Structure 1
Protein backbone atom coordinates (compact mmCIF):
# COMPACT_ATOMS: atom_id res chain seq x y z
CA UNK A 1 0.00 0.00 0.00
CA UNK A 2 1.28 3.43 -0.90
CA UNK A 3 0.62 6.35 1.41
CA UNK A 4 -1.56 8.93 -0.27
CA UNK A 5 -0.65 12.60 -0.29
CA UNK A 6 -2.50 14.68 2.34
CA UNK A 7 -5.46 16.62 0.90
CA UNK A 8 -4.78 20.19 -0.13
CA UNK A 9 -7.95 22.32 0.24
CA UNK A 10 -6.32 25.31 -1.49
CA UNK A 11 -6.10 23.25 -4.69
CA UNK A 12 -9.89 23.28 -5.00
CA UNK A 13 -10.87 26.14 -2.68
CA UNK A 14 -8.38 29.02 -2.96
CA UNK A 15 -10.16 31.12 -0.33
CA UNK A 16 -8.85 28.70 2.29
CA UNK A 17 -5.45 30.39 2.07
CA UNK A 18 -6.59 34.04 1.96
CA UNK A 19 -5.77 36.24 4.96
CA UNK A 20 -5.94 39.97 5.69
CA UNK A 21 -4.01 41.33 8.67
CA UNK A 22 -4.29 44.66 10.45
CA UNK A 23 -2.38 45.94 13.50
CA UNK A 24 -4.72 44.07 15.87
CA UNK A 25 -6.82 41.71 13.78
CA UNK A 26 -6.64 38.77 11.40
CA UNK A 27 -9.44 38.19 8.88
CA UNK A 28 -9.84 34.85 7.09
CA UNK A 29 -12.77 33.45 5.05
CA UNK A 30 -14.97 31.32 7.31
CA UNK A 31 -13.97 27.81 8.32
CA UNK A 32 -16.12 25.34 10.23
CA UNK A 33 -14.17 25.41 13.50
CA UNK A 34 -14.14 29.20 13.46
CA UNK A 35 -17.87 29.34 12.72
CA UNK A 36 -18.60 27.12 15.72
CA UNK A 37 -16.56 29.46 17.92
CA UNK A 38 -18.38 32.47 16.46
CA UNK A 39 -21.76 30.86 17.16
CA UNK A 40 -20.75 30.38 20.79
CA UNK A 41 -19.87 34.08 21.03
CA UNK A 42 -23.13 35.13 19.36
CA UNK A 43 -25.18 33.26 21.94
CA UNK A 44 -23.68 35.61 24.54
CA UNK A 45 -25.12 38.60 22.66
CA UNK A 46 -24.50 40.88 19.70
CA UNK A 47 -26.60 43.95 20.58
CA UNK A 48 -29.05 45.13 23.28
CA UNK A 49 -32.43 43.40 23.13
CA UNK A 50 -34.27 46.66 22.47
CA UNK A 51 -32.17 47.37 19.36
CA UNK A 52 -32.10 45.69 15.93
CA UNK A 53 -29.22 46.72 13.64
CA UNK A 54 -29.92 44.07 11.00
CA UNK A 55 -32.33 44.09 8.07
CA UNK A 56 -32.99 40.40 8.75
CA UNK A 57 -33.56 40.14 12.54
CA UNK A 58 -31.66 36.88 12.90
CA UNK A 59 -30.51 37.65 16.44
CA UNK A 60 -34.11 37.47 17.68
CA UNK A 61 -33.67 33.68 17.54
CA UNK A 62 -30.76 33.68 20.01
CA UNK A 63 -32.81 31.84 22.62
CA UNK A 64 -33.87 29.05 20.26
CA UNK A 65 -32.06 25.68 20.07
CA UNK A 66 -31.31 26.08 16.36
CA UNK A 67 -29.78 29.56 16.62
CA UNK A 68 -26.12 28.51 16.55
CA UNK A 69 -26.77 25.97 13.80
CA UNK A 70 -28.42 28.70 11.74
CA UNK A 71 -25.23 30.79 11.83
CA UNK A 72 -23.28 27.88 10.37
CA UNK A 73 -25.95 27.13 7.77
CA UNK A 74 -26.04 30.75 6.61
CA UNK A 75 -22.26 30.82 6.19
CA UNK A 76 -22.24 27.46 4.40
CA UNK A 77 -24.90 28.70 2.00
CA UNK A 78 -22.88 31.83 1.18
CA UNK A 79 -19.74 29.75 0.71
CA UNK A 80 -21.47 27.25 -1.58
CA UNK A 81 -22.89 29.98 -3.82
CA UNK A 82 -19.63 31.87 -4.45
CA UNK A 83 -18.91 32.26 -8.15
CA UNK A 84 -17.24 34.96 -10.29
CA UNK A 85 -20.49 36.78 -11.08
CA UNK A 86 -21.90 36.79 -7.55
CA UNK A 87 -20.07 36.25 -4.28
CA UNK A 88 -20.28 36.95 -0.58
CA UNK A 89 -17.16 36.17 1.44
CA UNK A 90 -17.68 36.02 5.21
CA UNK A 91 -14.40 36.76 6.93
CA UNK A 92 -14.04 35.55 10.49
CA UNK A 93 -12.39 38.28 12.55
CA UNK A 94 -9.86 37.16 15.15
CA UNK A 95 -8.19 39.16 17.89
CA UNK A 96 -5.19 37.36 19.41
CA UNK A 97 -6.50 34.13 17.87
CA UNK A 98 -10.00 34.47 19.34
CA UNK A 99 -12.97 34.74 16.97
CA UNK A 100 -14.83 37.95 17.79
CA UNK A 101 -17.02 38.72 14.78
CA UNK A 102 -17.71 38.55 11.06
CA UNK A 103 -16.88 40.98 8.27
CA UNK A 104 -18.58 40.34 4.94
CA UNK A 105 -17.39 41.54 1.54
CA UNK A 106 -19.75 40.87 -1.38
CA UNK A 107 -20.16 41.77 -5.04
CA UNK A 108 -22.32 41.14 -8.08
CA UNK A 109 -20.68 41.14 -11.54
CA UNK A 110 -17.52 42.53 -9.97
CA UNK A 111 -15.51 42.09 -13.17
CA UNK A 112 -17.85 44.52 -14.94
CA UNK A 113 -19.10 46.89 -12.23
CA UNK A 114 -16.07 46.96 -9.95
CA UNK A 115 -18.20 47.54 -6.85
CA UNK A 116 -18.31 45.75 -3.51
CA UNK A 117 -20.67 45.77 -0.53
CA UNK A 118 -19.84 45.21 3.11
CA UNK A 119 -21.56 44.30 6.35
CA UNK A 120 -20.29 43.23 9.75
CA UNK A 121 -20.99 42.45 13.37
CA UNK A 122 -18.99 42.05 16.55
CA UNK A 123 -19.80 40.29 19.79
CA UNK A 124 -20.79 42.71 22.55
CA UNK A 125 -17.79 41.90 24.75
CA UNK A 126 -15.37 43.55 22.29
CA UNK A 127 -17.46 46.49 21.10
CA UNK A 128 -16.32 50.04 21.78
CA UNK A 129 -12.63 49.41 21.05
CA UNK A 130 -12.52 50.64 17.46
CA UNK A 131 -12.33 47.13 16.05
CA UNK A 132 -15.34 47.67 13.77
CA UNK A 133 -13.49 50.54 12.09
CA UNK A 134 -10.31 48.50 11.78
CA UNK A 135 -11.99 45.49 10.17
CA UNK A 136 -13.90 47.71 7.72
CA UNK A 137 -10.62 49.37 6.72
CA UNK A 138 -9.22 45.87 6.19
CA UNK A 139 -11.77 44.79 3.59
CA UNK A 140 -11.90 48.23 1.97
CA UNK A 141 -8.13 48.03 1.55
CA UNK A 142 -8.47 44.55 0.09
CA UNK A 143 -11.11 45.77 -2.36
CA UNK A 144 -9.44 49.00 -3.49
CA UNK A 145 -5.73 48.19 -3.31
CA UNK A 146 -5.75 44.52 -4.29
CA UNK A 147 -8.94 43.73 -6.23
CA UNK A 148 -9.12 47.04 -8.09
CA UNK A 149 -12.62 48.00 -6.90
CA UNK A 150 -13.92 51.41 -7.98
CA UNK A 151 -16.52 51.81 -5.22
CA UNK A 152 -17.63 50.26 -1.93
CA UNK A 153 -21.17 50.46 -0.59
CA UNK A 154 -22.71 49.81 2.79
CA UNK A 155 -25.90 50.65 4.66
CA UNK A 156 -27.12 51.03 8.23
CA UNK A 157 -30.39 51.89 9.91
CA UNK A 158 -30.74 55.52 10.98
CA UNK A 159 -30.62 54.52 14.66
CA UNK A 160 -27.49 52.37 14.25
CA UNK A 161 -25.19 55.17 15.34
CA UNK A 162 -22.08 53.02 15.80
CA UNK A 163 -22.15 51.63 12.24
CA UNK A 164 -22.87 55.04 10.73
CA UNK A 165 -19.93 56.54 12.63
CA UNK A 166 -17.63 53.90 11.19
CA UNK A 167 -18.77 54.81 7.69
CA UNK A 168 -18.30 58.52 8.33
CA UNK A 169 -14.84 57.89 9.77
CA UNK A 170 -13.79 56.07 6.61
CA UNK A 171 -15.10 58.81 4.33
CA UNK A 172 -18.33 57.29 2.97
CA UNK A 173 -20.79 59.77 1.48
CA UNK A 174 -24.61 59.55 1.55
CA UNK A 175 -26.10 57.44 -1.24
CA UNK A 176 -29.86 57.60 -0.62
CA UNK A 177 -32.29 55.96 1.78
CA UNK A 178 -34.60 52.95 1.82
CA UNK A 179 -37.69 52.32 3.90
CA UNK A 180 -38.19 48.87 5.45
CA UNK A 181 -40.36 47.16 8.02
CA UNK A 182 -38.31 46.11 11.04
CA UNK A 183 -39.97 44.17 13.82
CA UNK A 184 -43.33 45.28 12.46
CA UNK A 185 -42.47 48.98 12.40
CA UNK A 186 -41.12 51.31 9.70
CA UNK A 187 -37.38 51.96 9.72
CA UNK A 188 -35.09 54.04 7.52
CA UNK A 189 -31.98 52.43 6.04
CA UNK A 190 -29.21 54.88 5.15
CA UNK A 191 -27.05 53.92 2.17
CA UNK A 192 -23.43 55.10 1.86
CA UNK A 193 -20.78 54.94 -0.86
CA UNK A 194 -16.99 55.11 -0.76
CA UNK A 195 -14.40 55.48 -3.53
CA UNK A 196 -10.60 55.21 -3.46
CA UNK A 197 -10.48 59.02 -3.66
CA UNK A 198 -12.75 59.66 -0.67
CA UNK A 199 -11.39 56.84 1.52
CA UNK A 200 -9.72 58.24 4.65
CA UNK A 201 -6.86 55.79 4.79
CA UNK A 202 -5.58 54.73 8.19
CA UNK A 203 -1.96 55.21 9.21
CA UNK A 204 -1.37 51.49 8.61
CA UNK A 205 -1.71 49.33 5.50
CA UNK A 206 -3.47 45.96 5.60
CA UNK A 207 -1.29 42.96 4.81
CA UNK A 208 -2.92 40.59 2.30
CA UNK A 209 -1.66 37.07 1.57
CA UNK A 210 -3.02 34.25 -0.58
CA UNK A 211 -5.10 36.43 -2.90
CA UNK A 212 -3.59 35.39 -6.24
CA UNK A 213 -5.38 32.04 -6.61
CA UNK A 214 -8.70 33.68 -5.52
CA UNK A 215 -8.89 36.23 -8.32
CA UNK A 216 -10.61 34.03 -10.86
CA UNK A 217 -13.21 32.89 -8.32
CA UNK A 218 -13.96 36.53 -7.40
CA UNK A 219 -14.13 37.74 -10.99
CA UNK A 220 -11.18 40.07 -10.39
CA UNK A 221 -8.53 40.99 -12.97
CA UNK A 222 -5.61 38.58 -13.06
CA UNK A 223 -2.36 40.43 -12.36
CA UNK A 224 0.88 39.46 -14.02
Structure 2
Protein backbone atom coordinates (compact mmCIF):
# COMPACT_ATOMS: atom_id res chain seq x y z
CA UNK A 1 0.00 0.00 0.00
CA UNK A 2 2.85 2.44 0.78
CA UNK A 3 3.93 2.36 -2.87
CA UNK A 4 0.61 3.95 -3.82
CA UNK A 5 1.67 7.08 -1.95
CA UNK A 6 5.46 6.77 -2.22
CA UNK A 7 6.26 4.99 -5.50
CA UNK A 8 9.88 6.09 -5.22
CA UNK A 9 10.44 2.93 -3.17
CA UNK A 10 10.33 1.13 -6.51
CA UNK A 11 13.04 3.29 -8.11
CA UNK A 12 16.24 1.31 -8.70
CA UNK A 13 19.53 2.23 -10.34
CA UNK A 14 22.29 -0.27 -11.16
CA UNK A 15 25.86 -0.04 -12.41
CA UNK A 16 28.20 -3.01 -12.99
CA UNK A 17 29.06 -3.22 -9.28
CA UNK A 18 26.52 -1.12 -7.40
CA UNK A 19 22.82 -0.84 -6.68
CA UNK A 20 21.07 2.39 -5.61
CA UNK A 21 17.63 2.43 -3.98
CA UNK A 22 15.72 3.64 -0.96
CA UNK A 23 16.94 1.70 2.08
CA UNK A 24 14.58 -0.11 4.39
CA UNK A 25 14.52 1.13 7.98
CA UNK A 26 16.88 -1.67 9.04
CA UNK A 27 19.21 -0.85 6.15
CA UNK A 28 19.08 2.82 7.13
CA UNK A 29 20.25 1.75 10.58
CA UNK A 30 23.15 -0.11 8.97
CA UNK A 31 24.03 2.97 6.92
CA UNK A 32 24.02 5.03 10.11
CA UNK A 33 26.48 2.55 11.60
CA UNK A 34 28.69 2.74 8.48
CA UNK A 35 28.77 6.52 8.88
CA UNK A 36 29.43 6.22 12.62
CA UNK A 37 32.50 4.12 11.86
CA UNK A 38 33.97 6.94 9.77
CA UNK A 39 33.55 8.90 6.56
CA UNK A 40 36.56 11.25 6.58
CA UNK A 41 40.19 10.58 7.35
CA UNK A 42 41.85 12.71 10.07
CA UNK A 43 42.11 16.30 8.89
CA UNK A 44 39.96 15.69 5.81
CA UNK A 45 37.01 18.01 5.11
CA UNK A 46 34.35 17.21 2.55
CA UNK A 47 31.09 18.96 3.55
CA UNK A 48 30.17 22.52 4.52
CA UNK A 49 27.85 20.99 7.11
CA UNK A 50 30.60 19.26 9.12
CA UNK A 51 28.56 16.21 10.11
CA UNK A 52 31.48 13.77 9.48
CA UNK A 53 33.29 15.43 12.42
CA UNK A 54 30.46 14.71 14.86
CA UNK A 55 30.94 12.00 17.50
CA UNK A 56 30.08 8.55 16.10
CA UNK A 57 26.56 8.21 17.54
CA UNK A 58 25.61 11.74 16.52
CA UNK A 59 27.04 11.08 13.06
CA UNK A 60 24.80 8.07 12.63
CA UNK A 61 21.78 9.97 13.93
CA UNK A 62 22.43 12.72 11.41
CA UNK A 63 22.19 10.20 8.57
CA UNK A 64 18.88 8.83 9.83
CA UNK A 65 17.28 12.22 10.47
CA UNK A 66 18.52 13.70 7.21
CA UNK A 67 17.06 10.78 5.24
CA UNK A 68 13.71 11.06 7.00
CA UNK A 69 13.69 14.83 6.54
CA UNK A 70 14.30 14.67 2.81
CA UNK A 71 11.33 12.36 2.37
CA UNK A 72 9.08 14.41 4.65
CA UNK A 73 9.88 17.69 2.88
CA UNK A 74 9.62 16.33 -0.67
CA UNK A 75 7.93 18.68 -3.11
CA UNK A 76 7.59 17.96 -6.79
CA UNK A 77 9.40 21.20 -7.64
CA UNK A 78 12.01 21.08 -4.85
CA UNK A 79 13.24 17.64 -3.90
CA UNK A 80 16.23 15.73 -2.59
CA UNK A 81 16.51 12.09 -3.64
CA UNK A 82 18.59 10.15 -1.08
CA UNK A 83 19.42 6.59 -2.09
CA UNK A 84 21.45 3.93 -0.35
CA UNK A 85 24.49 2.51 -2.13
CA UNK A 86 24.73 -1.29 -2.02
CA UNK A 87 27.45 -3.76 -3.00
CA UNK A 88 26.02 -7.27 -3.26
CA UNK A 89 23.25 -6.21 -0.89
CA UNK A 90 25.60 -4.62 1.62
CA UNK A 91 24.98 -0.91 2.41
CA UNK A 92 28.19 1.12 2.00
CA UNK A 93 27.06 4.77 1.72
CA UNK A 94 24.50 7.13 0.24
CA UNK A 95 24.06 9.39 -2.78
CA UNK A 96 21.82 12.40 -3.24
CA UNK A 97 20.32 14.16 -6.25
CA UNK A 98 18.76 17.56 -5.61
CA UNK A 99 16.40 19.52 -7.86
CA UNK A 100 15.53 23.08 -6.79
CA UNK A 101 12.89 24.80 -8.95
CA UNK A 102 13.57 21.84 -11.21
CA UNK A 103 10.46 22.17 -13.37
CA UNK A 104 11.82 25.54 -14.55
CA UNK A 105 15.62 25.37 -14.23
CA UNK A 106 16.10 21.70 -15.15
CA UNK A 107 19.39 21.65 -13.22
CA UNK A 108 20.48 19.23 -10.50
CA UNK A 109 23.20 18.99 -7.89
CA UNK A 110 24.74 15.78 -6.60
CA UNK A 111 26.31 14.59 -3.38
CA UNK A 112 27.57 11.36 -1.86
CA UNK A 113 29.41 9.75 1.01
CA UNK A 114 30.94 6.31 1.44
CA UNK A 115 32.22 4.53 4.53
CA UNK A 116 36.00 4.78 4.86
CA UNK A 117 36.63 1.12 4.09
CA UNK A 118 34.82 1.45 0.75
CA UNK A 119 36.68 4.49 -0.54
CA UNK A 120 39.43 4.41 -3.16
CA UNK A 121 37.80 1.59 -5.18
CA UNK A 122 36.14 3.63 -7.92
CA UNK A 123 32.70 3.40 -6.34
CA UNK A 124 32.41 7.19 -6.22
CA UNK A 125 32.65 7.49 -9.99
CA UNK A 126 30.02 4.78 -10.53
CA UNK A 127 27.74 6.46 -7.99
CA UNK A 128 27.94 9.87 -9.66
CA UNK A 129 27.44 8.24 -13.05
CA UNK A 130 24.22 6.57 -11.90
CA UNK A 131 22.79 9.87 -10.65
CA UNK A 132 23.75 11.69 -13.84
CA UNK A 133 22.15 8.99 -15.98
CA UNK A 134 18.90 9.42 -14.07
CA UNK A 135 19.12 13.20 -14.33
CA UNK A 136 19.99 13.55 -17.99
CA UNK A 137 18.33 10.57 -19.61
CA UNK A 138 15.16 10.26 -17.51
CA UNK A 139 14.48 13.61 -15.84
CA UNK A 140 15.50 15.72 -18.83
CA UNK A 141 18.04 17.81 -16.93
CA UNK A 142 20.05 20.31 -18.98
CA UNK A 143 22.94 20.56 -16.53
CA UNK A 144 24.39 19.14 -13.31
CA UNK A 145 26.31 21.28 -10.85
CA UNK A 146 28.59 20.51 -7.94
CA UNK A 147 30.81 22.43 -5.54
CA UNK A 148 34.01 20.77 -4.38
CA UNK A 149 36.57 21.94 -1.84
CA UNK A 150 39.79 22.67 -3.70
CA UNK A 151 41.59 20.32 -1.32
CA UNK A 152 39.20 17.40 -2.01
CA UNK A 153 41.27 15.59 -4.62
CA UNK A 154 39.04 12.50 -4.80
CA UNK A 155 35.86 14.41 -5.65
CA UNK A 156 37.76 16.73 -7.98
CA UNK A 157 39.03 13.66 -9.84
CA UNK A 158 35.56 12.16 -10.24
CA UNK A 159 34.22 15.44 -11.62
CA UNK A 160 37.01 15.83 -14.16
CA UNK A 161 36.67 12.20 -15.28
CA UNK A 162 32.98 12.72 -16.00
CA UNK A 163 33.49 15.91 -18.01
CA UNK A 164 32.61 18.73 -15.60
CA UNK A 165 34.03 22.14 -16.43
CA UNK A 166 34.89 25.13 -14.25
CA UNK A 167 32.03 27.47 -13.35
CA UNK A 168 33.87 29.77 -10.93
CA UNK A 169 34.49 29.52 -7.19
CA UNK A 170 32.55 29.88 -3.95
CA UNK A 171 33.89 31.24 -0.65
CA UNK A 172 32.31 30.04 2.60
CA UNK A 173 33.16 29.92 6.29
CA UNK A 174 34.01 26.60 7.92
CA UNK A 175 35.37 26.33 11.46
CA UNK A 176 35.80 30.11 11.52
CA UNK A 177 37.98 30.18 8.41
CA UNK A 178 37.44 30.88 4.73
CA UNK A 179 37.27 27.78 2.59
CA UNK A 180 37.24 27.93 -1.20
CA UNK A 181 35.25 25.54 -3.38
CA UNK A 182 35.41 25.07 -7.12
CA UNK A 183 32.03 25.36 -8.79
CA UNK A 184 31.79 22.79 -11.57
CA UNK A 185 29.12 22.31 -14.23
CA UNK A 186 28.29 19.49 -16.62
CA UNK A 187 25.86 19.95 -19.51
CA UNK A 188 23.88 17.21 -21.15
CA UNK A 189 25.97 17.54 -24.32
CA UNK A 190 29.21 17.17 -22.35
CA UNK A 191 27.79 14.15 -20.51
CA UNK A 192 26.91 12.39 -23.74
CA UNK A 193 30.43 12.88 -25.13
CA UNK A 194 32.22 11.25 -22.18
CA UNK A 195 32.40 7.42 -21.95
CA UNK A 196 31.02 5.99 -18.73
CA UNK A 197 29.84 2.70 -17.27
CA UNK A 198 26.42 1.34 -18.16
CA UNK A 199 23.52 2.31 -15.90
CA UNK A 200 20.13 0.59 -15.71
CA UNK A 201 17.18 2.53 -14.28
CA UNK A 202 13.93 0.77 -13.38
CA UNK A 203 10.76 1.91 -11.65
CA UNK A 204 10.99 5.48 -12.94
CA UNK A 205 7.68 5.66 -14.80
CA UNK A 206 5.68 5.12 -11.60
CA UNK A 207 7.32 8.05 -9.80
CA UNK A 208 8.02 10.46 -12.68
CA UNK A 209 5.38 12.96 -11.54
CA UNK A 210 7.09 13.31 -8.15
CA UNK A 211 10.14 14.83 -9.86
CA UNK A 212 8.71 16.93 -12.67
CA UNK A 213 6.12 19.08 -10.96
CA UNK A 214 3.26 17.30 -12.68
CA UNK A 215 -0.02 16.25 -11.11
CA UNK A 216 0.42 13.28 -8.80
CA UNK A 217 -2.28 10.71 -9.46
Same fold (TM over 0.5): yes
Shift of 1:220: 6.1
1:44 matched to which residue of 2? Answer: 37
Structure 2 CA distance for partners of 1:151 and 1:203, relative to 1, 3 Å: closer
Residue 38 of structure 2 aligns to a residue whose secondary structure is coil
1:209 matched to which residue of 2? Answer: 202
The answer to whether the Cα contact below 8 Å between 1:155 and 1:192 also exists between their aligned partners in 2 is: yes
- 1:151 aligned to which of 143, 149, 173: 143
Answering whether residue 80 of structure 2 is matched by residue 88 of structure 1, we say yes
1:5 matched to which residue of 2? Answer: none
Q: Distance in 1 between matches of 2:214 and 2:17?
A: 29
- 2:115 aligned to which of 108, 123, 129: 123
Structure 2 CA distance for partners of 1:202 and 1:95, relative to 1, 3 Å: farther
Q: Distance in 2 between matches of 1:49 and 1:88?
A: 29
The Cα RMSD (Å) is 1.5
Q: Which moved more, 1:180-189 or 1:79-88?
A: 180-189
Once the two structures are superposed, the pairs formed by residues 35-184 of structure 1 within 5 Å of their partners are: 35-63=28-56, 65-184=57-176
Shift of 1:208: 0.5
The answer to whether the Cα contact below 8 Å between 1:41 and 1:100 also exists between their aligned partners in 2 is: yes
For these two proteins, the number of residue pairs brought into alignment is: 214
Structure 2 CA distance for partners of 1:39 and 1:171, relative to 1, 3 Å: same
Q: Distance in 1 between matches of 2:213 and 2:133?
A: 15
Residue 69 of structure 1 aligns to a residue whose secondary structure is helix
Runs (4+) of structure 1 exceeding 3 A deviation are 200-204
Q: Distance in 1 between matches of 2:161 and 2:97?
A: 18
1:193 matched to which residue of 2? Answer: 185
The answer to whether the Cα contact below 8 Å between 2:139 and 2:212 also exists between their aligned partners in 1 is: no
Answering whether residue 17 of structure 2 is matched by residue 24 of structure 1, we say yes
Structure 2 CA distance for partners of 1:33 and 1:183, relative to 1, 3 Å: same
User: Structure 2: where are the runs of 5+ without partners?
Assistant: none
Q: Distance in 1 between matches of 2:71 and 2:49?
A: 19
In proportion to residue count, which structure has more helix? 2
Residue 129 of structure 1 aligns to a residue whose secondary structure is coil
Structure 2 CA distance for partners of 1:101 and 1:75, relative to 1, 3 Å: same
User: Structure 1: where are the runs of 5+ without partners?
Assistant: 1-7
**TM-score, normalization by structure 1:** 0.91
